[in-house]
Amino acid sequence: MSSIDNAWIEGLPKIELHVHVEGAILPETLFRLAKRNGIDLPARNLEELRAWYKFTDFPHFAEIYQTFSKAITSAEDIHDMVWDFVKEQARQNIRHSEATFTALTHYRNNGIPFEEQLDAVRQAADRGLSELGTSLGLIIDIPRELATPGEALLIANWVAGAHGDGLVLALGLSGYEPGFPPEMFLAPFALAAEAKVPAVVHGGETGPAAYVSGAITSLGAVRVGHGISAVDDSNVLALVKERGVTLEVCPSSNVCLKLVETIERHPFRRLADQGVDVTINTDDPPMFETDLNNEYRRLAETFHYSKADLKRFALRAARASLLDDSRRATLVAEIERYSE
């Protein structure tokens, strides 16, 4: 077992590259928004809602997401959701987050224009930086199993128009992979690439190693979300290393979704030991009863990582961020100064 104390992990300046804003909604936030908007919940009080949040299986996971979507009906709701998200990130001493945000859901379900969504997020993000010292950038995703080809192009156009504003950092691709390989999304990612928008693509979570290589070679991904099936194919691992692609690994998520049997069998260490740039992330933390401090702790205990190891993973995340050079250098220096 690792001898690293909790206080050291909590104090470590951290960067999170793979977390879904909607999937990080706290039970308290959902309860408040549902009450405000007259949305029925499968719980009579906050205590019951917390119990309902605990992950059981994939259909339950989808049910929770659908409930989120119904409860967020206005730009004000988006602001409040993001402000609660930023506060929770700051509590964990996460100095910067690059969070996936599914704008299509709010546009399609409640007709909230993309520009209004961004304004609401920006207000919360600016407040988070000024009051709490934590920054937020967005990866606007195409939900692969939900978006029509026309909607995928619409999202790419949104991102191309907003990129460079300091908030929108990349075009993403998320969702359930089987039946939706990266090659199905060539057009929107070509449009984004033409506008010099980076691609950050979920791959190799519920899909095979070929989806990791497809994300890189077909869509130009600079980071791959999850990417754990890459460990099954030496050629894909070689490609990941050759291209310098960072994998955004989410250990507890993978175990809860039964993609990995136990934390002890998680391929995180095998990937790291083979020279892959892996980072530590949460995905949808309240659903998996975790946070980023807990993910660092679990990996340290499971794989006997030292403080120097954990600092190295934090530095990898900082260096793989899509921030401007100045802000990235500031974060790197802050982590390097942290005492071991």
Give the integer Cα–Cα distance in Å for 235 and 3: 36
Give the integer Cα–Cα distance in Å for 148 and 114: 17
């994300």: which residue's tokens? 215
Spatial contact of 114 and 107, defined as CB atoms under 8 Å apart: yes
CB atoms within 10 A of CB 163: 20
Give the integer Cα–Cα distance in Å for 109 and 77: 14
Tokens (6 digits) for 107: 């546009």
Question: Is 205 a known active-site residue?
Answer: yes
Catalytic annotation, pick one of 22, 205, 248, 295: 205
Closest of 289, 247, 315, 284 to residue 85, by C-alpha: 284
The sheet carrying 94-101 orders its strands as 14-16, 94-101, 135-143, 168-174, 199-203, 221-226, 246-249, 277-280
Catalytic residues: 205
